[in-house]
Amino acid sequence: MASLKEVRNRIVSVNSTQQITKAMKMVSAAKLRRATDAIVQMRPYSKKLSEMIATVSGRTDAGKENPFTEVREIKNVLILVVTSDRGLCGAFNANIGKATIALIQQKYAALHQAGHVTVMPLGKKGGEYLGRRGYKLNADHQDIYTKLNFGNARLIGEEVLNGFAEKQYDVVEIVFNEFKNVATQIIRTEQLLPLQESNTGEVKPSAVDYIFEPSEAEIINELIPKSIKLSIFRALLESNASEHGARMTAMDKATDNAGELIKALKLEYNRSRQAAITNEILEIVGGAEALSA
């Protein structure tokens, strides 16, 4: 049985940990509010942009002639893996890593064996998880969440678009956590390039005869790259909100577990203290009886 001092030190240590987890939960809750506001504002814009591309491409063959819609033989694959830069958020990052490995094994196993599957981690933890398992990594975009804005997503998007246009990659996919609520994140896998009709939304017939200025082809050529960059930015926002929700949940559970552990340690401490007092009383009584004999 542990001594009273050891149990007392453990109680102090767990109390300190509980204070830290409480503080981290509060910080994550504050950040989650801002992150959810950002993604809620982004979703309608992203949806409307997809509808615009669908409307214009449905009226012309310009969309099919765009280089970013070209379907070619798959020789090289790029997978964007969106994770966080920090841990302490439960299985948030591990689930993305497992989903990425499952995607590669199911769709691109032969290409992976040949070294033609590249992973671009958007977040430190994704690179660490997949790098330890021998996957080929591209530039590791870390610290993007310290100043998360469209400028960062635009630079990543331009890198991806240039790689596809120069035929370094024939398919580009992205894996990320979509935010549903504080306790639930949904893992999504989407194909960014070549742009598919399913990614541009459903074409709705319209009785309005639009006049396009500039031409429909120019509009398509302008909107498709913007749509890819916006999809990457949306994935980053979704992941950012999901990360704070996952960390808030994890810290809440850790705080509860610390409370349960403190109760158990206090019970152990009281039992040990009571046993020590009982032993001292028995020693005193035994000594008194020996003197009176």
pTM, two decimal places: 0.84
Pick the closest to residue 160 from 214, 133, 122, 200 (CA basis). Answer: 122
Q: Is residue 64 part of a domain?
A: yes
Q: Where in the sequence is the domain holding 62, given as residue range(s)?
A: 21-251
Strand residue runs (E) in the chain: 77-82, 117-122, 171-181, 184-193
Q: Is residue 175 part of a domain?
A: yes
Is the distance from CB of 194 to CB of 69 less than 8 angstroms? yes
Q: Is residue 112 part of a domain?
A: yes
pLDDT, tens digit, 9 for 90 and up, residues 146-189: 888 899 899 999 999 999 999 999 999 999 999 998 888 999 99
Place of tokens 């994140």: 185
User: pLDDT class for 208, splitting at 50, 70, 90?
Assistant: low
Residue 203 has pLDDT above 70, yes or no: no
pLDDT, tens digit, 9 for 90 and up, residues 261-291: 999 999 988 988 888 888 888 888 888 777 7
Q: Is residue 192 part of a domain?
A: yes
Q: Is residue 258 part of a domain?
A: no
- Please give the backbone phi and psi of residue 179, each rounded to the nearest 5 degrees, phi first: -80, 125
Q: Is residue 154 part of a domain?
A: yes
How many domains is the chain partitioned into structurally? 1
Respond yes or no: is residue 89 known to be catalytic.
yes
Q: Is residue 293 part of a domain?
A: no
Instruction: Work out the number of other CB atoms within 10 angstroms of the CB of residue 118.
Output: 20
Q: Which is catalytic among the residues 82, 89, 230, 251? A: 89
**CA–CA distance, 57 with 94 (Å, rounded to integer):** 39
Extract the tokens encoding 88: 């302490």
Q: Is residue 247 part of a domain?
A: yes
The domain that contains 30 carries what CATH number?
Answer: 3.40.1380.10
Extract the tokens encoding 190: 């989407």
